[in-house]
Structure formats: C-alpha cells, structure tokens
C-alpha cells in the first residue's frame, strides 16, 4: 500500500517536486515506525486506564495484544499518516511532515484506536447499550482521521500558487498519469491485506467459518470499489464531457475507503449500494472543496474523509445482524433489519463524532502552531522554482523538467 501511495502522490504532483514527495513519504514511514514502537502501540492496545488510553506495552518487543500484532497495527497507523500527506503536497516545509507524523502516531490514531477496538474502552463499555461501535478495519480510525487531518492542514496552509486566481479555478495537472494509475491498482491490491487480514483479528480461531468470512470480505470490497469507480467516472464524464483517468482512480479508492469500516458486516448488494454512494459522494465533495477554495492536490480528503464517514454510517443502516454477531458478538444490526430500534445507527454517530472531534482538535493545534511560527509553508520563491531545486539538490528529471518548463513556465 505504501508503494501505491507514493506512486499515486508523485504522479499527481509536478515534476519539480517529485524528490520532495518521495523523501517526505520515506521519512513518514520511518518515523511512524519508531513512534508506534515506543508509544503508539501501548496507547492503542495496552491495559486500559479508565477506558480512554492504554498504559502498558511501551517500547514493544513484538508481542501481540490479543490477535493484534505490532506489525499489522503499525501499517494502520502508517496509512493514516500517509493519507494526510497528500493534502499538503507541493507547498509545505519538509519539517511539517515529521511533526504531524509524530502527533498522529502518538496522540491521535492510537487514542481513537483504543476507543474503537479495545474491548474495555469507554465506547465499548457503555451501560444500557447492547450494541458497540462498528469499524471493521479502520474507516473511522484510519481514513476519516487521516483525511480530516489533511483537510485541516490544507485549509490552514492555503492553496498552491496559481491554483485559484481572481476567483477562477485553474487545474494543476500532475506530471505522470501512469504512476497515478499504477499506484491506484497497487493500493487496491494492498487493500485486500488490509480488509481480509482484519477478518482474522475478529475470527482468530480460523477454520471454515473464517475462510467463508474472508471470501465475503474480498467480494464485498471488490464490488464496492468497482461500483464506486464506475459511478464516479460516469457522473464526472456527464458533467465535464470527458473521461478522466484521475477521477476513475480516485473513485475506485473512495469505494475502498467506504468499504473499510463495514466490509465484514454487509451483504454483496449492500456493498454495491455503498459503492454507488461513495462514487457520488467523492465527486460531490471534490467539487465542493474546489468551490470553497481548498486545494487538495490528490483529493485525499474527499476520498478518505468523505468516504470514511459514509462507510461508518452505512453500518448503521445496512449491517446484517448475523454478520455483526459473527464478528463482534453483538445482537445488533442496521436500521433496514429493524433491530434495536436504530441503536446501532446512534452508536455509529457517537463514535464517528468523537473520533472527528479528537482529530480536529489535534490537527488545529498542530498546523495552527506551525503556521503561527511561519514553519508551515515554503516561501514563494521556493514554491515557484520547485522544492526539489531549492531544498533537495535539483529535480528528479532534469532533462524532462527543462523541456517542459520551456513551454510551460512555472510548471
């Protein structure tokens, strides 16, 4: 999945910033691993203190909390961090990325993961509720957190130079659509490990039942991604009159993001409905952010935050009670199954609201402080010349960039 993230982000960026994009993603991976080993894993899966935060297993020696091994849970935190980086591309200091990576890896993702997945957390121990918050593989814990963090960062950082001039939206295309397409397909492939692998956390005993559940998860995820990608491609083409590869790839990932929180709780027809909604929502949120003057080079906030929220809420409507019982042992289900009088939907709203509030608090503190200290954004000269030229010893493709800039100054 990290190979896919890096490929998609570098392709969507301009050639003069490729070294910066590759380096910041590498830094994110390494620093996230250190933070998760030292503190993050303990806060997420250690012995609970009042149901709010874990307090044991610091500086992990690789042991597992229940069926949650260190390495697998680290990849969740890393995906959360990487999602946010796409929103900030091409105009932020390299220093920004390790700062927010540390904050997300220590104070944001682990705390929310504890609330959602620790059996004795406050969210899962509410008296009087037979239901629990459902997030199968991180629709809220990973995608909504990462997308919302990036969105707030992009809003505080401001758009790239030339993105909005005199109130006019001017698209800034990436330099390599093949990287975008290949990155999206790599992400899709990696997502099977993300979602199908999570099935064994819920069904650690394995056997035929686990195999059947994994097959259902793979089918639902495939359908949701496919329907979402097709929906976004068709809807966007009706609006613009062209078939846009980037929109198709982003719609595909929107479907994957929407499936992450519910893929183990839905039937195939419900996964198709989720995919159609995700494709429509992605196109709508992407257009809305542009109208608001928010510059998100990869549409990461529309893909991950918007679709992550959708996926969490879908469980409140379409989760099948027998699948919920199989996975988490609760006799609850979506509104359409007429179980518990909509209590599951209420739990989804509560968990999502708390997760977003905690994320927004830390995002505003982090990026607001960096902005106040004038450490958030590179200067105008650096942005125009390219961050690679000013901070990384030159462009990744010297001859290509020289040829392009002769016809497109500033690219």
- At 181-218, the pLDDT tens digits run 999 999 999 999 999 999 988 886 556 678 899 999 99
Query: What whole-number distance in Å separates Cα of residue 308 and Cα of residue 384?
Result: 34
Mean pLDDT (whole number) for 155-180:
90
Strand segments, DSSP code E, in 79-231 are 164-165, 168-169
The β-bridge relationship of strands 53-54 and 168-169 is: unpaired
For the chain, give the mean pLDDT. Answer: 92
pLDDT at residue 28 tops 80? yes
Query: What whole-number distance in Å separates Cα of residue 178 and Cα of residue 393?
Result: 25
pLDDT for the residue 131: 87
DSSP 218-275: HHHHHHHHHHHHHHHHHHHHHHHSS--HHHHHHHHHHHHHHHHTTTTT--HHHHHHHH
Query: What whole-number distance in Å separates Cα of residue 256 and Cα of residue 192?
Result: 10
Which pLDDT band holds residue 408 (cuts at 50, 70, 90)? low
DSSP lists the bridge partners of residue 92 as 377
Structure confidence by residue, pLDDT tens digits, 302-322: 999 999 999 999 999 999 999
pLDDT at residue 142 tops 90? yes
The full set of domains in the chain, from first to last, is 1-163+173-392 (1.10.3430.10)
Mean pLDDT (whole number) for 320-340:
89
Phi, psi of 209 (to 5 degrees): -65, -40
Cα angle vertex 330, ends 325, 335, to 5°? 90
Mean pLDDT (whole number) for 141-170:
93
- Which structure tokens are listed for 105? 């890896």
Mean pLDDT (whole number) for 270-282:
98
Structure confidence by residue, pLDDT tens digits, 341-398: 689 999 999 999 999 999 999 999 999 999 999 999 999 999 999 999 898 888 887 7
The b/e string for 159-179 (b: 16+ C-beta within 10 A; e otherwise) is bbeebbeeeeeeebebbbeeb
DSSP lists the bridge partners of residue 165 as 168
If one compares 112 and 402, the residue with the highest pLDDT of the two is: 112
Query: How many other C-beta atoms lie within 10 A of the C-beta of residue 191?
Result: 26
Structure confidence by residue, pLDDT tens digits, 245-269: 999 999 999 999 999 999 999 999 9
């Amino acid at each position: 999945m990290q190979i896919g993230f890096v490929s998609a982000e570098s392709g969507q960026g301009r050639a003069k910033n490729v070294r910066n994009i590759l380096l910041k993603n590498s830094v994110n991976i390494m620093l996230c691993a250190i933070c998760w080993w030292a503190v993050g894993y303990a806060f997420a899966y250690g012995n609970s203190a009042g149901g709010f935060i874990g307090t044991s297993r610091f500086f992990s020696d690789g042991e597992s909390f229940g069926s949650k091994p260190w390495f697998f849970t680290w990849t969740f935190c890393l995906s959360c961090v990487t999602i946010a980086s796409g929103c900030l591309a091409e105009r932020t200091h390299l220093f920004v990325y390790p700062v927010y990576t540390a904050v997300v890896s220590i104070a944001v993702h682990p705390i929310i993961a504890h609330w959602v997945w620790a059996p004795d957390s406050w969210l899962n121990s509410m008296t009087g509720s037979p239901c629990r918050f459902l997030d199968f593989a991180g629709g809220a814990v990973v995608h909504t957190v990462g997308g919302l963090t990036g969105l707030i960062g992009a809003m505080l950082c401001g758009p790239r130079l030339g993105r909005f001039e005199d109130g006019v939206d001017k698209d800034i295309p990436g330099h390599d659509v093949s990287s975008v397409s290949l990155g999206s397909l790599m992400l899709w492939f990696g997502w099977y490990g993300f979602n199908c692998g999570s099935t064994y956390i819920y069904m650690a005993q394995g056997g035929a039942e686990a195999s059947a559940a994994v097959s259902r998860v793979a089918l639902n995820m495939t359908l949701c991604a496919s329907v979402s990608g097709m929906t976004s491609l068709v809807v966007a083409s009706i609006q613009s009159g062209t078939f846009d590869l980037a929109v198709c790839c982003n719609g595909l990932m929107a479907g994957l993001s929407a499936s992450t929180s519910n893929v183990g709780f839905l039937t195939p027809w419900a996964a198709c409905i989720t995919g159609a909604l995700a494709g429509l929502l992605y196109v709508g949120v992407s257009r809305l952010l542009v109208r608001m003057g928010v510059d998100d080079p990869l549409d990461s906030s529309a893909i991950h935050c918007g679709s992550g929220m959708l996926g969490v809420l879908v469980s409140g409507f379409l989760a099948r009670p027998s699948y919920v019982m199989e996975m988490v042992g609760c006799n609850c289900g979506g509104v359409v199954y007429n179980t518990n009088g909509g209590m599951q939907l209420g739990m989804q709203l509560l968990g999502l609201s708390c997760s977003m509030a905690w994320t927004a608090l830390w995002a505003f503190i982090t990026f607001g402080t960096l902005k106040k200290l004038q450490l958030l954004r590179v200067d105008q000269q650096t942005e125009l010349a390219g961050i690679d030229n000013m901070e990384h010893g030159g462009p990744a493709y010297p001859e290509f960039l020289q040829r392009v800039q002769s016809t497109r100054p500033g690219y």
